[in-house]
Amino acid sequence: MVLEFKDLYVSVEGNRILKGINLKIMSGETHAIMGPNGTGKSTLAQVCMGHPKYKVESGDILLDGESIIDLSVDERSRRGIFLGMQNPIEVPGVTNFDFIKSAIQKRMRKDEHLRIGKFILKYESASQDLDMGKGLAHRYLNQGFSGGEKKRNEILQMKMLNPKFAFLDEIDSGLDVDALKLVGEHVTKQKSADLGLILITHYQRLLDYIEPDFVHIMINGQIVKTGNTELITKIDREGYDWVKTELGIDDEDDKPYSLGNCPTKSLV
Amino acid sequence: MSEKKDFDFKKDYKYGFKTKTKSIRETKRGLSESVVREISMIKEEPKWMLEVRLDALKTFYEMENPGWGPDLTSIDFNDIIYYIKPSNKVEKDWKDVPEEIKDTFNKLGIPEAEQKYLSGVTTQFESEAVYHSTIKELNDLGVIFLDTDSALKEYPELFKEYFTKAVPYNDNKYAALNTAVWSGGSFIYVPKGVEIKKPLQSYFRINSERMGQFERTMIIVEDNSTLNYVEGCTAPIYSNSSLHAAVVEIYVKSNAKCRYSTVQNWSTNINNLVTKRSIVEDYGHMEWIDGNIGSGINMKYPSCILKGDYSKGTTITIAFAGKNQYQDTGAKMIHIGKNTTSKIVSKSIATKGGKVNYRGLVSQEGSAENAKSTIECDTILVDRDSTSDTIPTNIVKNFKGQIEHEATVSKVSDEELFYLMSRGLTEDEAKEMIVMGFIEPFARELPMEYAVELNQLIKLEMTDSIG
């Protein structure tokens, strides 16, 4: 399968965030999208999932050649798009188990029945792999979860739902080194010829565990550079300014008006 | 979505059926002294009961509607039939119940439920109980579980001792009306030192157009005894206005425990105006588990009068207001004894332009030293058209009392919906899941089959086709 962004312009409350995104992801590929804060990386994932806040001004998102931008969020999910979120929502009163079970049942054909025993085994083994602890199934969805548990719960859902294209939005934030390793290894284990993975991250450290095939740098709502893992090393060492200089990007327009400079900042 | 549009509420809604029944006897439409006399006569009541009924009727005429909450002026008391008797005797055996009536019960699933959970069933069809079974277990324990009319006949002294003692007929206009025209309901007496382990259940149902239902329930739990009573009602759909004005009186004696659970689901043309009150003695514990899904206007505030020292009151309540619904519900806790404690947990949901209010009273009287109360009111608004008010009254009349009050109002946010929908749930399913999660603290207090039923009712109410 192929997921394709075509000359995509997206705005939020009148502010244009994405300014002409062109990106093609094939099943089996892993893409990393990197870039400074506030450049539209998360927007790309959210708009692909169909968040109502984001408005597609022009361009298209195609899943196997078919536009998905008019589809509802749940329809996109059922077609195989997945978004592991930066800030998973807490839903009191709904157990983690029931939630995932409902989500899976929604994916089944009318004549299919969920085989509950098989489902429980899969759930238990997935939560064990992710070191989620035994009580997880009966805890309320994300409620009282630590930052790391929330992220692992996103990966658990990804594993259970078997998506075709999965965005993982800053799945590394809030994880300590051990949890990061665990999550990274687990995502890597899920890599397959049927899954297209899109990792959104600031830092190299996640990519130590999940090796991407392509690395894209996003600045000011555009993908300005695409390369391989060497790009990551360079960013980690030198930041993003060299990219801006190299490509002659001037983002002065977007900077706030400021009266004078902070002296310590100039010293550093 | 197309599935839901095809849903025919009247045809498909599980409880939306009527059975044609020939009533053997009914009173004329409207309210008058002669109607009250006729009811008492048909029932062959003792004279004192007729006198109480007539006094109550006089009080009803004298009293005004409540000066707060929903507007009740549209109720036409002369357009209601106050008494219908479906058959002449109270049935003891399921096989003696008339076929027509059985058919209705079958649709409600009562026989199956009976097998699984019930220790005894009083099923009220129209105004009077027609089916009554008390299993041997209960009889052996000395427990009395009867429809209220039979209890008056069989245990007149016990009946008189408690009738109108928790809810005097001059308490409010609708308590007066109920006292004047009451018919049916459940009567439960648990003697000293008896712990009934299984819940007792009873189903109520209106099945005649423009017919009011005025059942009277009395429960007495003696010292050191335990009762868990579950009352259920579902109503068919009607086009004309109707009234349900019940009274429930509960007496919890020393060190006794009583739990009264109900999920009312009257159709939205019914005004549900119910007075529920308990008097709790030393170390007693009263729990109201009170669900309000149906009815157009609903006013209900289960109360505990914590008379005894160390007595305890708990009310866990939900109110669900959908289209054309106005739920004005809450709880009352009156602390009189020393070291009394009370807890109110209220969950309110409003959707599709519904209005839901929490109205509560917690009063710690001068004598209630060291009383402690906690109140938790949470409201969730599913859309922008729906509204809610929280109207608590908290009074402490001594220097050693303590009241904690917490209230939250939240809206179902775009972010919540997005998260759930991103896993494949539709918008309606996502809303439903959030609401179900919200009422979970209530649902978990219900017996299994009731929780399942509640779940189904909320699902029906949350879909677009209803209303």
Q: Is B46 on the interface with A (CB under 8 A)?
A: no
pLDDT of residue B327: 96
Work out how many domains chain B is built from and give that number.
Answer: 2
Residue A88: closest C-alpha in chain B: B419
Give domain status of residue B92, yes or no: yes
Q: Which among B418, B436, B439 is the nearest to A73, CB-wise?
A: B418
Q: What is the pLDDT of residue B20?
A: 53
Q: Would you say residue B465 has pLDDT above 50?
A: no
* Contact call for residues A53 and A11 (beta carbons, < 8 A): no
Report yes or no: B426 at the A interface, CB cutoff 8 Å: yes
Instruction: List the beta bridge partners of residue A226.
Output: A216
Please report, for chain A, how many H helices and E strands are present, in that order: 9, 12
Whether residue A263 is contained in a domain is answered as: no
Q: CA of B439 to nearest chain A CA: how many angstroms apart?
A: 7
Whether chain A has a CB inside 8 Å of the CB on B380: the answer is no
pLDDT class of B57 with cuts at 50, 70, 90: very high
Q: Closest-CA residue in chain B for A90?
A: B416
Q: Contacts of residue A52 in chain B, CB cutoff 8 Å?
A: 414, 418
Q: In the A/B pair of chains, how many CB contacts fall below 8 A?
A: 79
Q: What is the pLDDT of residue B202?
A: 60
Q: B60 and B18, same structural domain? A: yes
Verify whether the Cβ–Cβ distance B425 to A83 is below 8 Å. no
Q: Is B437 within 8 Å of A93 when comparing Cβ atoms?
A: yes
The mean pLDDT value of chain B amounts to 81
Interface test with A, best of B421, B436, B454, B459 (most A CBs within 10 A): B421
Query: Nearest-CA residue of chain A relative to B421?
Result: A74
Name which residue leads in pLDDT, B340 or B144: B340
**Is residue B187 assigned to a domain?**
yes
B260 located within any domain: no
Residues B218-230 have a mean pLDDT of 96
Contacts of A49 in chain B (CB under 8 A): 418, 422
Indicate if B102 and B207 belong to the same structural domain: yes
* Residue B58 within any structural domain of the chain: yes
Contacts of B424 in chain A (CB under 8 A): 74, 77-78, 103, 106-107, 161
- B95 with B186, same domain: the answer is yes
CA B129/CA B125 separation, integer angstroms: 6
pLDDT band at A137 (very low <50, low <70, confident <90, very high): confident
Separation CA A90–CA B419 (nearest Å): 9
Per residue in A174-227, pLDDT (tens digit) is 788 888 888 898 899 999 999 999 999 877 788 888 999 999 999 999 999 999
- Decide if A40 is inside a domain: yes
Q: Assign residue A103 the CATH number of its domain.
A: 3.40.50.300
Number of neighbouring beta carbons within 10 Å of residue A28: 14
Q: Which residues of A touch B415 (CB under 8 A)?
A: 89
A266 in a structural domain: no
Q: Is residue B246 part of a domain?
A: yes
Residue A12: which domain range?
Answer: 2-255
Cα dist from A104 to A82, B406, B424, B460, whole Å: 13, 37, 8, 22
One domain, residues B362 and B248: no
Nearest to B423 among A72, A93, A157 (CB): A157
pLDDT band at B209 (very low <50, low <70, confident <90, very high): very low
Residue B100 has pLDDT above 80, yes or no: no
Question: At residue B29, does pLDDT exceed 90?
Answer: no
Q: Which helix (H) or strand (E) holds B190?
A: strand B186-190
Task: Give yes or no: residues B466 and B366 share one domain.
Answer: yes
The string of DSSP letters for B258-327 reads EEEEEEEE--TTEEEEEEEEEEE-TT-EEEEEEEE---SEEEE--EEEE-STT-EEEEEEEEEE-TT-EE
B124 pLDDT above the threshold of 50: no
Complex-level ipTM: 0.91
For residues B301 and B327, the answer to whether their CB atoms sit within 8 Å is: no
Same domain, B244 and B332: no
Would you call B449 helix, strand, or coil by DSSP?
helix
Confidence label for B204 from pLDDT (cuts 50, 70 and 90): very low
Amino acid sitting at position B175: A
Residue A268 inside a domain? The answer is: no
Inter-chain residue contact B423 with A88, CB threshold 8 Å: no
Residue A73 lies in a domain: yes
Contacts of A107 in chain B (CB under 8 A): 424
Which residues of chain B lie closer than 8 angstroms to A83, CB-CB? 422
**Angle, helices B173-181/B47-62, rounded to nearest 10 degrees:** 150
Higher-pLDDT residue of B448 and A56 is A56
Sequence-separated contacts (24+) of A186-195 with Cβ below 8 Å: A186/A129, A186/A130, A186/A155, A186/A159, A187/A155, A190/A158, A190/A159, A191/A28, A191/A30, A192/A28, A193/A27, A193/A28, A194/A1, A194/A27, A194/A28, A194/A164, A195/A27, A195/A28, A195/A163, A195/A164, A195/A165, A195/A166
Together in a domain, B387 and B449 = yes
What is residue B359's three-state secondary structure?
Answer: strand
pLDDT mean over B187-195: 95
Q: Domain count for chain A, please give it.
A: 1
Q: How far is CA B451 from CA A211, B131, B263, in A?
A: 48, 25, 10
Nearest CB neighbour to B422, from listed A77, A100, A102: A77
Could you tell me the residue range of the domain that residue B313 belongs to? 301-467
The one-character DSSP state at A84 is E
Domain-embedded: residue A262 = no
Q: Do B421 and A73 touch (CB under 8 A)?
A: yes
CB contact under 8 A, B425 and A74: yes
Contacts of A161 in chain B (CB under 8 A): 423-424
Count of Cβ atoms closer than 10 Å to residue B350 Cβ? 26
Residue B241 scores a pLDDT above 60: no
Q: Are B332 and B276 contained in the same domain?
A: no
Residue of A nearest to B415 (CA): A89
Above 80 in pLDDT, residue A128?
yes
Residue B35 covered by a domain = yes
Residues B211, B348, single domain; the answer is no
